[in-house]
């Protein structure tokens, strides 16, 4: 009975993403310029700097979790130090890794969850660790999110011929997405390359608003490749 109670207590402490509080208490962070990882998206990384080799060794020896945080503009003067990063970032899990004989690594991360950095821990290693809190999606009206999803599907059908083969199939791209927020993240990770737009989408906790922003983005892309479609725009009311 005592074991059962302990298991239940652990379940209550575990988030929907599978992250436990101790996972976020001292989270290894890999700061990158102009790169945003979305939950559900894959990110390949080539690790060659000594501090990030050390980070990767620790991550692979542990629970294989690290955060990808975007460096704020102006980081160049202090790149070798600890320049500021955006507070909202994504925790990723290593799903594939290759260790090279010279100490380099090639790894692939899958985004697990949004987090907000609470504080940076005092430097005890070459790389940075931070305490973070997990961020969940806000409640959104299902009717509103469904309407935006229908609009996105319609736009995607028109845009698909202009997209790379790897992201042309919307159903394949969003397979396994649970809920409107996850659906939006899959599309954002595949389509939005602009770092500022990506950071805005990452920081937006309202799934309906993420879908609206993505619809706006898709419409602008479609207009750029097929200007005649701009005359056929329709707005959601």
Given this model, what pLDDT does residue 191 score? 80
β-pair partners for 93 = 65, 110
What pLDDT is recorded for position 42?
Answer: 93
3-state helix, strand, coil in the chain (%, to 5): 45, 25, 30
Q: What is the pLDDT of residue 221?
A: 85
Q: Which residue in this structure is represented by tokens 């660790």? A: 129
Tell me the domain boundaries of the chain: 16-134, 142-232
**What pLDDT is recorded for position 162?**
84
Report whether 30 contacts 45 (CB < 8 A). Answer: yes
For the chain, 237 residues long, the average pLDDT of each consecutive 10-residue run is: 41 69 96 94 95 96 96 82 93 97 96 97 93 95 94 90 85 89 92 89 97 93 70 46
Radius of gyration (Cα) for the chain, nearest Å?
Answer: 20
CATH superfamily of 16-134: LON domain-like (2.30.130.40)
Q: Check residue 168 and give its pLDDT.
A: 87
Query: In this predicted structure, what is the pLDDT of residue 4?
Result: 40
27-33 vs 65-71, strand pairing mode? parallel
Backbone phi, psi, residue 58, to 5°:
-65, -40
C-alpha closest to that of 213 among 205, 40, 58: 205
For 133, the token pair is 């809190």
Residue 114 CB contacts under 8 Å (≥ 6 apart), including other chains: 39, 88, 89, 90, 134, 135, 202, 205
Q: CA angle, 22 as apex, 19 and 27 as ends, to 5°?
A: 80
Please tell me the number of Cα atoms within 13 Å of 146 on its side-chain side.
3
């Amino acid at each position: 009975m005592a074991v059962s109670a302990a298991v239940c207590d652990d379940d209550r402490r575990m988030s929907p993403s599978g992250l436990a509080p101790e996972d976020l208490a001292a989270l290894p962070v890999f700061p990158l310029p102009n790169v945003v990882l979305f939950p559900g998206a894959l990110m390949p990384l080539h690790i060659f700097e000594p501090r990030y080799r050390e980070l990767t060794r620790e991550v692979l020896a542990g629970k294989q979790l690290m955060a990808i945080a975007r460096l704020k503009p102006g980081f160049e003067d202090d790149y070798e130090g600890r320049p500021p990063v955006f507070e909202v970032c994504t925790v990723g899990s290593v799903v594939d890794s290759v260790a090279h004989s010279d100490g380099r690594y090639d790894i692939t991360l899958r985004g697990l969850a949004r987090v907000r950095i609470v504080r940076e821990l005092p430097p005890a290693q070459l790389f940075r660790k931070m305490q973070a809190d997990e961020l969940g999606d806000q409640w959104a009206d299902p009717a509103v999110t469904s309407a935006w999803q229908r609009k996105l599907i319609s736009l995607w059908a028109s845009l698909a011929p202009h997209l790379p083969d790897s992201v042309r199939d919307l159903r394949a791209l969003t397979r396994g997405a649970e809920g409107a927020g996850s659906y939006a993240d899959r599309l954002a990770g595949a389509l939005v390359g602009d770092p500022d737009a990506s950071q805005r989408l990452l920081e937006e906790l309202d799934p309906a608003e993420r879908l609206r922003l993505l619809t706006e983005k898709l419409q602008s892309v479609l207009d750029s490749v097929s200007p005649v479609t701009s005359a056929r725009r329709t707005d959601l009311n």
